[in-house]
Amino acid sequence: MAELPDVDELLDAAVRALGGARREGQVTMARAVAAAVAAEEHLVVQAGTGTGKSLAYLVPAIRHAMAEDTTVIVSTATLALQRQLVERDLPRLATALAPLLKREPTFAILKGRRNYLCRNRLASAADAEPEEAGLFDPRALSSLGRQVQRLHEWAEDTLTGDRDELVPGVSDLAWRQVSVAGNECVGAAACPFGQECFAEQARAEAGGADIVVTNHALLAIDATQGYHILPEHRVLVVDEAHELVDRVTSVASGSLSERAVTTAAKRAARLCDVELTERLGETADGLALLFADAEDGRIDHIPDSLATAVAGVRDAAHACISDIGPENKEDPQAATARRLALAALNEVHDTAVRILESFEPPLRDRRDVVWLAKGANRPPALHVAPLTVGGLLREKLFGDRTTVLTSATLTLGGSFTGFAAQWGLGREITGEPASAPRGERPKAEPGESDSAEGEPRWRALDVGSPFEHARSGILYVAAHLPPPGRDGLDPRYVDEIAELIEAAGGRALGLFSSMRAAAQAAEELRERLDHPILCQGEDSTGQLVERFSADERTCLFGTLSLWQGVDVPGPSLQLVIVDRIPFPRPDDPLASARQRAVGAHGGNGFMAVAATHAALLLAQGTGRLLRATGDRGVVAVLDPRLATARYGGFLRASLPPYWGTTDPGVARAALRRLDEAARVPSEV
């Protein structure tokens, strides 16, 4: 290993250059990350808002990459964090650390192939009719045509071909006309545009970088589907780790729709016997008819008619696949058409097989759950998703690399074990970190090993938060209200919200468990209050948050994305209102099946799935209150079950440690005081 300054020295230099102050939690985390990487032990770190956790993992990650001449992968769930790392943190860090490290650290961003413009697709699709054209009216089609035309023009200018750099963006449908998924790419060697391919360029750049930033979906595809897209690495940092299970579940899920089968049939049309593609097209019609009559929701026992229709798709797709001839390397256009057809046919065939096979074992032994979804804005489709992804992560992600998993919220009910179980991690390691890498240590005694029964072991660290929650925030539970009902917001809830907002002088973020409740509250309160009330859906969420942040009297109501995405420090946000505990809907097919599966194996399904889901969202929603040192305020949870139900203690233990009360007078008085204090500067 090359001799480099230690992590403390590098972190001090970075913090000085970035104009910050030394924070204990950040130092503790940086040291722990460095120790975990040196000892090859997985590390799970909870680091509250304000810790500066990105620096705390980037500094030891950069040091390791440069000392070992290797690449460290950093994965995020959201585009916002990815941007923050690549556009702000890493460039500043690279400049700050270069003098100490003797060269400037390098970094790159890598996304899935679908995110980059495909020049080959662009060329071959130039005159082609969009695959889903038949589904659109002429107006939609001409708008699609205009968007694709714009993409052709953009292709002449862009240096990266990265969809996120196209402003304003285009619809998914338009983007699909000019991009390919990994299994649709003909391969750089066979592709006439291989030398100037954007995806290949991004990959080549990433190959030599010290740090590669990616997203959880690509990480999951790389680790689980055998496409080696990411550069070789032994150390992985997963930020926003609370999102990992959901993102991996999405990658490991499949769906079967009339549109997918029709697209496969169209792509195969010029490559197969016409009778075969017509037969496949007919199976799509059959699916559509069955979907139209069927109820949506989870399917525990597949009806014969549906099983026959799915088997029809499977067999027709298989016949087409068998009929497609070998690749013609001399003709790139034909090779592209063949690759696109095979990708679509394999997708519908494999999904149909998986759906049918998922019903074979008895209920309690099943690994997948199947449901029919019929949303208002989406065509009906059969979905299949894994009940757990722990096994997959254990085998494919944790087996051969050291992983640091971090987020502001990783302890639920006061413990890391809920997340560790979902990730498939084994027992927690306690005691001093090992002084040597795993491979160089003597074989451990049972109970001390890195891997008990094949389950990777891990260390946990909670570096807390620089905020003094108990002094800065109040958790008020409206225990006097009735439990929330099913038919919209009870008038007593609306009264309570009105009184709290009056006391706070606006400044309120309303986090509702459904869009219907948010809209009802906004509508009724606009009649009663003078404060402007914005509601999600009335403009882009980014615009709404900006207006909310700019005017202290304004309130913002909304649902899920606001629970996690609002970061408004200062007096514009001094009151967070939560209408009800955000349990998953009882008819949520995946959550209900997961809950049942835990119960069937002797666990408490409600606590392991529903309460855990609610705890995570509640922790994140109530965490919106304090975003900077000096912030003060009240979190008001109107659902009395947080104070009265048996699971209330578990949920409360998952929240930031605010000072608690159920006294409405105390909450209102505190809000009035805060309102007065916030008004003073502008009135002087």
216 is an interface residue for ligand SF4 by CB under 6 A: no
Smallest distance, Å, CB 219 to ligand SF4? 20
CB 656 within 8 A of CB 621: no
Nearest to 409 by CA among 630, 680, 655: 655
Which one of 118-126, 219-227, 277-285, 446-454 is the stretch in contact with ligand SF4 (CB under 6 A)? 118-126
Work out which of 119, 383, 531, 668 binds ligand SF4, going by CB under 6 A.
Answer: 119
199 is an interface residue for ligand SF4 by CB under 6 A: yes
Smallest distance, Å, CB 271 to ligand SF4? 17
Work out which of 191, 235, 355, 474 binds ligand SF4, going by CB under 6 A.
Answer: 191
Smallest distance, Å, CB 407 to ligand SF4? 33
Smallest distance, Å, CB 201 to ligand SF4? 9
CB 506 within 8 A of CB 552: yes
User: Between the CA of residue 320 and those of 253, 272, 340, 499, what are the distances in Å?
Assistant: 24, 6, 13, 65
Smallest distance, Å, CB 333 to ligand SF4? 11
User: Which CB, 160 or 451, lies closer to ligand SF4?
Assistant: 160
CB 29 within 8 A of CB 50: no
- Grouping H, G, I as helix, E, B as strand and the rest as coil, residue 587 is coil
Radius of gyration, alpha carbons of the chain? 27
- Grouping H, G, I as helix, E, B as strand and the rest as coil, residue 1 is coil
User: Which CB, 199 or 637, lies closer to ligand SF4?
Assistant: 199
Give the containing element (helix H, strand E) for 475. strand 473-477
Work out which of 41, 200, 588, 675 binds ligand SF4, going by CB under 6 A.
Answer: 200
Smallest distance, Å, CB 117 to ligand SF4? 8
Task: Render 149-187 in DSSP notation, one character per residue.
Answer: HHHHHHHHH-SS-BGGG-SS---HHHHHTT---GGG---
Q: φ, ψ for residue 555 (rounded to 5)?
A: -115, 155
Site residues for ligand SF4, 626-665, by CB under 6 A, read none
User: Which CB, 193 or 606, lies closer to ligand SF4?
Assistant: 193
Residues in the interface with ligand SF4 (CB under 6 A) total 15
User: Which CB, 116 or 458, lies closer to ligand SF4?
Assistant: 116
Which one of 79-87, 119-127, 373-381, 448-456 is the stretch in contact with ligand SF4 (CB under 6 A)? 119-127
Rounded-to-integer distance, Cα 120 and Cα 103, Å: 38
User: Between the CA of residue 350 and those of 37, 112, 113, 313, what are the distances in Å?
Assistant: 39, 21, 21, 10
202 is an interface residue for ligand SF4 by CB under 6 A: no
Nearest to 427 by CA among 397, 393, 455, 407: 455
197 is an interface residue for ligand SF4 by CB under 6 A: yes
Rounded-to-integer distance, Cα 88 and Cα 77, Å: 17
Site residues for ligand SF4, 88-117, by CB under 6 A, read 113
User: Which CB, 78 or 201, lies closer to ligand SF4?
Assistant: 201
120 is an interface residue for ligand SF4 by CB under 6 A: yes
Site string for ligand SF4, 169-188 (x = CB under 6 A): -----------x----xx-x
Smallest distance, Å, CB 107 to ligand SF4? 23
Rounded-to-integer distance, Cα 671 and Cα 133, Å: 56
Work out which of 118, 244, 245, 619 binds ligand SF4, going by CB under 6 A.
Answer: 118
CA angle at residue 216 from 188 to 96, to 5 degrees? Answer: 90
Smallest distance, Å, CB 128 to ligand SF4? 15
CB 216 within 8 A of CB 110: no
Smallest distance, Å, CB 182 to ligand SF4? 9
Residue numbers at the binding site for ligand SF4 (CB under 6 A): 113, 118-121, 180, 185-186, 188, 191, 193-194, 197, 199-200
